[in-house]
Amino acid sequence: MKQVIAYSLYGSDSRYMIGAIKNALLAQKHFAGYEIRFYTGASVPDWTRSTLALIPNVHLVDCDEPEDHTAKLWRFKALADDQADVILSRDTDARLTRRERLAHEDFLASRLDFHIMKDHPIGHNYKISAGMFAARKGAIPEIAQLIEEQACKDYYTQDQDWLAEQIWPRIKDNCLIHDETYDTQAEGISAVKPFPISKEATLHHIGAALDENDRYIFDIDRHRAKAETGSDRYLAEWLA
């Protein structure tokens, strides 16, 4: 089975460049054998490209499109790859973890077509979070056309909105949703389940937005984490 973890990578901010490298390395531990695919803008520094090229299973796909908020949607091109059996869409400023891998294995065992994770206590109640979903080949038969026709605007939540408008109506009856916070209701043959293992702390969540030093990006996360754990760093089991 070919499984691909897809990222958009552009600019030169260390938050994303170092994050991409860390995730490519973490994939060797938690998602061994998966292809790690970066849809890469021209602005990505040579040192980032050359470092990523040294890591097994990494594949860089050059993109010459505008590097604004619409570039977040580049990773969705992987959904149209008919050589891939499963596509996972992720963010470079989050970190791959064992807990996430176990949730993914839960999805594979479910035989459902789409996987959604909601793990942040206040910030993940989107229909589909752009960096926290997976899909099987054939889950969205018209995906290539949808991607080709997408009319994108440059604003922060463009990727989430596109998923809610175009993808959610097509998969809502056939998805596994890991959610312990938002009382999400299952539709059709879908299922809502808790995550396979618990977090060590409230903000040790899948999809945490981090800087290059694994510190929380958002003030609300930093303050809550420091109050609960004494640290503003993401201290999940793989960093201990």
- What confidence tens digit (pLDDT) does each residue in 134-166 have? 999 999 999 889 888 877 788 788 899 999 999
The total domain count for the chain is 1
Q: What is the pLDDT of residues 28-60, one digit of tens each?
A: 999 999 999 999 999 999 999 999 999 999 999
pLDDT over 70 at 239, yes or no: no
Q: What is the mean pLDDT of residues 201-214?
A: 94
Return all residues near 206 (Cβ < 8 A) that are at least 6 apart.
Answer: 94, 97, 99, 100, 103, 117, 119, 132, 195
pLDDT over 70 at 2, yes or no: yes
Token representation of residue 120: 């942040």
Q: What is the pLDDT of residues 187-205, one digit of tens each?
A: 999 999 999 999 988 999 9
Taking the CA atoms of 132, 85, 163 and 191 in sequence, report the sign of the dihedral they define.
negative
Structural domain including 70 reads 3-239
State the first-to-last Cα distance of the chain, in angstroms, to the nearest integer. Answer: 31
Are 73 and 159 within 8 A, CB to CB?
A: yes
Which residue from 7, 24, 202, 38 is spatially nearest to 96, judged by alpha carbons?
24
Percent of the chain with pLDDT over 70: 98
DSSP notation for 152-180: ---STTHHHHHIIIIIHHHHTTSEEEEES
- Rounded CA gap, 145 and 198, in Å? 39
Q: What global pTM score does this model have?
A: 0.95
List the strands of the sheet with 35-41, edge to edge. 58-63, 35-41, 3-9, 86-90, 132-136, 114-118, 175-179, 191-193
pLDDT at position 240 is 44
Domain at 103, CATH number: 3.90.550.10
